[in-house]
Structure 1
Amino acid sequence: MHKGGAIMLIGTNINIQGMSCRGCSAAIKLALEDTKGVNRAEVDLDRGKANVLYEAKLTSPEKLCGLINRLGYKAAVTEG
């Protein structure tokens, strides 16, 4: 977590099922990075995971998972 003035950035890990190629991971990365409040997104096809750095006031892990689910994949926040 990083506090810089009024902006608080939080990192979250998301498990993603259903990615089968680099095009899948690239589409998810682009959609996440186009989301208001997302500072950075990395998607690992081989591990089936995304790591997202976002502004807590603008989005949430649940919203990010919902976005990925609407793209046709199954996403869930990694516990722990």
Structure 2
Amino acid sequence: MGNTTDDLRTINDREFPDRSFVAVAPVGTGDHWGFPVVDGRCSEQVWFHFHDADDDELVAQDFLEFVASHALKP
């Protein structure tokens, strides 16, 4: 298996060929955390993208809040 960057690049190419979303972290269920793209620009907000539904969910107002609430948990 490739490194995380290659894996995310492959996922983004396959799942979001229209570049409407940029996945930055896998959840482990086929879902991803990432940034919606509007007018060619990534949002500052981090969203949870469900792979099998079209009802993404806001999880943080910015990446720092996302890291603090999801990555720094003991």
How does the TM-score come out when normalised to structure 1?
Answer: 0.28
Where is the strand percentage greater, Structure 1 or Structure 2? 1
TM-score when normalising by structure 2: 0.29
